[in-house]
């Protein structure tokens, strides 16, 4: 095999072929049901606000996280189709997402 990966047997072509990628359906904001929650799990006691439930392209999430970081005045990132904003900003993020047309609600404690 010409690939640098060590496979004993591979029935189909290259792993990075476009046929194996799953297309992400980009839904308009008003059709997305988002959950906003504060979490400390696995973050050494630091609180982050996690927004999950997105059905959007990575570029859209990148633009949205930039806007949320600016309005909250803190850092954040996109991980596994979820947005993480540093600190507990549930209420503020809920207001921002609602203004942008998303259906969002606070979940968890």
N- to C-terminal Cα distance for the chain?
53
- Provide the domain limits for residue 89: 27-106
For the entire predicted model, the pTM comes to: 0.75
Count of residues in the chain = 109
Strands of the chain, DSSP E: 33-39, 48-52, 76-79, 82-86, 103-106
| Edge-to-edge strand ranges of the sheet holding 48-52 | 76-79, 82-86, 48-52, 33-39, 103-106
Q: Could you report the per-residue pLDDT of 44-79, keeping only the tens digit for each? A: 889 999 999 999 898 999 999 999 999 999 999 999
pLDDT greater at residue 69 or residue 6: 69
Cα(24)–Cα(10) distance, integer angstroms: 26
What domain count does the chain have? 1
Q: What is the CATH number of the domain that holds 32?
A: 3.30.780.10
Whether the pLDDT of residue 80 is over 60: the answer is yes
């Amino acid at each position: 095999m010409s690939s640098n990966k060590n496979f004993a047997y591979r029935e189909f072509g290259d792993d990075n072929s476009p046929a194996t990628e799953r297309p992400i359906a980009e839904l308009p904001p008003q059709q997305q049901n988002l959950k906003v929650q504060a979490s400390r799990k696995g973050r050494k006691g630091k609180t982050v606000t996690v927004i999950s439930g997105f059905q959007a392209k990575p570029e859209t999430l990148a633009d949205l996280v930039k806007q949320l970081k600016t309005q909250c005045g803190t850092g954040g990132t996109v991980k596994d189709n979820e947005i993480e904003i540093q600190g507990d900003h549930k209420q503020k993020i809920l207001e921002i997402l609602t203004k942008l047309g998303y259906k969002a609600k606070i979940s968890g404690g």
